[in-house]
């Protein structure tokens, strides 16, 4: 019926289009404008375009008849129905695939993960460093085999292989190939586990498999195997003082004892220092940085000791802690721990110095004292009990060292000097007042020392004072307290300046008579030489002046820079830096014109020379002077003993 109706509507549309006398829709016209652009003949502003109107008719398109629009809408609706039917078919097809796959893989009739049993059994406790022996069982109760089955075991951090020495185990994969339907496979696994005492560890076990007819990989997990570390493979003891003064040097002794029935290898000890701890040294030396020590081998029931020396700095009542961790080094990063055996720590409580130690070298309390060569120094040590309780059995030990220390130059006042150890000791056996020191009381000790003058480079003597005493604490426990102080005696370098005069010494050509003659000019070559002492010096500067009858000839040869001021008649020689025991020189030429009044005298060519420099080792100023240089030539060089005496003109 719908086709007949559509045909009738088309006939009606044709009739309206071709019927005589039908009204024609009115057409609308618009005027089009054509623009003529004149050609420019210059770079001036272009002329404006001249519009020329041209009437052009524009006919609007005839609108479509309503019947045609209705037919097209009907066709669109039919097309939408077809798309919906197609999408519904596709959805049904996909749902059928999903449902069939579900029944094929998980249904009771084919294969299901519920039909796979996997379990891991092992001990509930185990000693750290011992071998963990566990059994993994996989049972396939499905009607089809498990293909490409792989057993996956994930060990706790720090586990090592029982087969390959030192190899870290993280995840181990073992190929099982095919597990047949109804088959049970038992797999024994072994590994060395580590950890702190009573620490819980977990081993995760799973099996990965495929089934025939599918490329998908499936995973079945077992209940994790949980166990505890019954004992640590090592025991760590830390020994140190509990109370300490700020700036005091102290020793920490770490003892690592094997608690394992088998030898341990590659045991890493790591320390974490607080901000106020300044590491000085350790025995043995650290294997990395200043806080790691590697024990290569530790036999059962054997021990290894590490002695750390450092200085604790902080405010009174502060508590500083050093944490120690012992364990297995990481295979990829040897400076980190893969597993921890045990942790330990020691704490220091900062308190006011129990002994106020004052040490003077001469009159100086500075940490570094500069002394002149050959000078004997008196060292005074004052100890004051700053506590409110009495100190007992005080002992004071002075350690002497340095390249300029000589056992023959030590003179203690009381006490005992041991030349084999280079120490001076005062205690109750040789100094009775140290047996008991009440609160606020002072004790004074002294000795003298001289640096060895034969040392040619940077001579110094190091003095270190260690004081120990015992007190009874609040809970009647005996405590040993320690105090320290250090000083360094440095020997100052002694550079010297020497002046030499010559005539015709191959440096310059000198003229004039020798002996000098009044009213006759004679030229001389003057050489200045600096001989340095035991330390490097820098900024060496020599200054001098010329008498009025001496003329500067501006002829110079040697090292450094030399300048002359003709107004002030002064010269400056900047010799710069000179190494220890080194030498430098400069030579220049001057002219002498003696007067009649100088007949019979020995004129001065260069007035007194003054040397000033900085000792790099002691950071002190060093100085030296040299007497005036005259016209007298050296007799050793063949000169006459009157070579510098002025004689009158015409005389012989």
Higher pLDDT, 323 or 77: 323
> Any idea which fold 241-351 has?
Immunoglobulin-like (2.60.40)
Residue 268 pLDDT more than 80?
yes
Higher pLDDT, 169 or 509: 509
> Any idea which fold 117-229 has?
Immunoglobulin-like (2.60.40)
Residue 288 pLDDT: 87
Higher pLDDT, 623 or 22: 623
Q: How confident is the model at residue 58 (pLDDT cuts 50, 70, 90)?
A: very low
pTM score of the predicted model: 0.54
Residue 64 pLDDT: 43
Pick the CATH number of 355-491 from 2.60.120.10, 3.40.220.10, 1.10.10.410, 2.60.40.10: 2.60.40.10
Tell me if 241-351 shares its fold with 496-637.
yes
Residue 492: which residues within 8 A CB-CB, separation 6 or more?
Answer: 370, 371, 372, 373, 533, 535, 615, 618, 620, 622
Average pLDDT over residues 177-199: 86
Q: How confident is the model at residue 24 (pLDDT cuts 50, 70, 90)?
A: low
Average pLDDT over residues 430-456: 90
What DSSP state is assigned to residue 59?
P
Q: Which two tokens stand for residue 242?
A: 């509990």
Residue 352 pLDDT more than 60?
yes
Residue 129 pLDDT more than 90?
no
Residue 163 pLDDT: 81
Digit-coded pLDDT (tens) for 549-594: 999 999 999 999 999 999 999 999 999 999 999 999 999 999 999 9
Digit-coded pLDDT (tens) for 46-57: 555 545 444 444
Q: How many of the other CB atoms lie within 10 Å of CB of 143? A: 13
Residue 166 pLDDT: 67
Of 328-342, 398-412, 424-438, 515-529, least confident by mean pLDDT is 328-342
Digit-coded pLDDT (tens) for 477-506: 446 667 778 899 999 999 999 999 999 888
Q: How confident is the model at residue 635 (pLDDT cuts 50, 70, 90)?
A: confident
Q: Which two tokens stand for residue 494?
A: 């002694």
Residue 638 pLDDT: 78
Of 320-329, 547-556, 624-633, least confident by mean pLDDT is 320-329
Distances (CA, A) of 342 to 153, 303, 324: 26, 15, 9
Does an H or E element contain 152, and which? strand 146-160
Residue 629 pLDDT more than 90?
yes
Distances (CA, A) of 258 to 129, 159, 194, 235, 302: 10, 18, 13, 6, 6
Q: How confident is the model at residue 618 (pLDDT cuts 50, 70, 90)?
A: very high
Averaged pLDDT of the chain: 83
How is 377-441 classified by DSSP, letter by letter?
A: EEEEEEEEE-SSS-EEEEEEEEEEESTT--GGGEEEESSEEETTTTEEEE-TTT-GGGGEE-TT-
CB 580 within 8 A of CB 493: yes
Residue 477 pLDDT: 43
Residue 212 pLDDT more than 80?
yes
Q: Which two tokens stand for residue 191?
A: 């590994």
End-to-end CA distance of the chain: 166
Q: What is the CATH number of domain 496-637?
A: 2.60.40.1170
Residue matched to tokens 């099996």: 207
Residue 226 pLDDT more than 70?
yes
Residue ranges per structural domain of the chain: 117-229, 241-351, 355-491, 496-637
Distances (CA, A) of 564 to 572, 584, 611, 623, 627: 7, 19, 16, 21, 19
Gap between the Cα atoms of 468 and 471, Å rounded: 10
């Amino acid at each position: 019926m719908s086709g007949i109706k559509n045909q009738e509507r088309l006939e009606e549309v044709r009739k309206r289009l071709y019927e005589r006398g039908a009204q024609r829709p009115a057409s609308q016209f618009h005027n089009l404008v054509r623009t003529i652009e004149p050609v420019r003949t210059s770079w001036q502003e272009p002329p404006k375009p001249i519009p020329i109107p041209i009437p052009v008719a524009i006919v609007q398109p005839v609108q479509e008849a309503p019947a045609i629009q209705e037919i097209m809408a009907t066709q669109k609706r039919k097309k939408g129905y077809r798309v919906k039917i197609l999408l519904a078919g596709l959805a049904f097809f996909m749902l059928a695939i999903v449902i069939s796959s579900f029944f094929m893989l998980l249904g009771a009739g084919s294969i299901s993960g519920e039909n796979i049993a996997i379990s891991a059994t092992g001990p509930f406790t185990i000693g750290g460093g011992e071998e963990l022996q566990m059994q993994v069982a996989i049972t396939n109760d499905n009607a089809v085999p498990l293909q490409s089955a792989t057993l996956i075991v994930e060990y706790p951090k720090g586990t090592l292989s029982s087969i390959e020495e030192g190899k870290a185990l993280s995840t181990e994969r073992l190929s099982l190939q095919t597990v047949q339907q109804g088959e049970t496979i038992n797999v024994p696994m072994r590994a060395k586990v580590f950890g702190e005492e009573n620490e819980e560890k977990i081993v995760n076990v799973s099996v990965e498999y495929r089934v025939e007819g599918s490329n998908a990989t499936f995973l079945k997990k077992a209940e994790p195997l949980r166990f505890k570390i019954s004992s640590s493979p090592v025991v760590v003891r830390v020994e140190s003082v509990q109370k300490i003064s700020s700036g005091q040097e102290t020793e920490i002794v770490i003892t690592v004892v094997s608690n394992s029935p088998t030898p341990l290898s590659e045991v890493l000890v790591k320390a974490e220092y607080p901000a106020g701890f300044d590491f000085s040294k350790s025995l043995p030396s650290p294997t990395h940085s200043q806080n790691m020590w590697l024990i290569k081998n530790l036999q059962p029931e054997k021990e290894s000791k590490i002695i750390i020396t450092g200085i604790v700095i902080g405010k009174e009542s502060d508590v500083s802690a050093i944490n120690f961790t012992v364990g297995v080094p990481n295979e990829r990063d040897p400076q980190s721990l893969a597993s921890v055996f045990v942790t330990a720590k020691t704490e220091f409580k900062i308190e006011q110095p129990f002994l106020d130690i004052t040490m003077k070298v001469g009159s100086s309390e500075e940490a570094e004292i500069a002394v002149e060569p050959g000078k004997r120094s008196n060292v005074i040590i004052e100890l004051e009990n700053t506590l409110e309780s009495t100190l007992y059995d005080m002992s004071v030990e002075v350690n002497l060292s340095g390249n300029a220390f000589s056992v023959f130059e030590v003179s203690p006042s009381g006490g005992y000097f041991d030349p084999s150890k280079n120490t001076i000791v005062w205690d109750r056996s040789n100094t009775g007042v140290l047996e008991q020191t009440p609160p606020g009381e002072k004790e004074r000790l002294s000795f003298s020392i001289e640096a060895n003058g034969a040392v040619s480079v940077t001579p110094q003597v190091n003095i270190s004072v260690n004081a120990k005493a015992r007190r009874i604490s609040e809970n009647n426990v005996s405590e040993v307290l320690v105090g320290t102080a250090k000083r360094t005696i440095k020997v100052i370098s002694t550079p010297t300046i020497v002046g030499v005069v010559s005539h015709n010494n191959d440096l310059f050509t000198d003229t004039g008579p020798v002996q000098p003659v009044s009213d006759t000019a004679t030229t001389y070559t003057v050489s200045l030489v600096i001989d340095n002492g035991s330390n490097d010096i820098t900024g060496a500067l020599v200054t001098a002046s010329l008498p009025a009858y001496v003329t500067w000839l501006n002829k110079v040869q040697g090292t450094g820079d030399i300048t002359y001021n003709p107004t002030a008649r002064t010269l400056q020689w900047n010799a710069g830096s000179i190494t220890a025991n080194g030498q430098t020189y400069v030579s220049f030429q001057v002219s002498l014109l003696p007067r009649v009044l100088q007949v019979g005298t020995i004129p001065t060519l260069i007035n007194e020379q003054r040397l000033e420099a900085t000792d790099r080792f002691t950071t002190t100023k060093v100085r030296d002077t040299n007497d005036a240089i005259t016209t007298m030539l050296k007799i050793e060089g063949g000169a006459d003993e009157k070579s510098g005496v002025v004689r009158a003109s015409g005389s012989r």
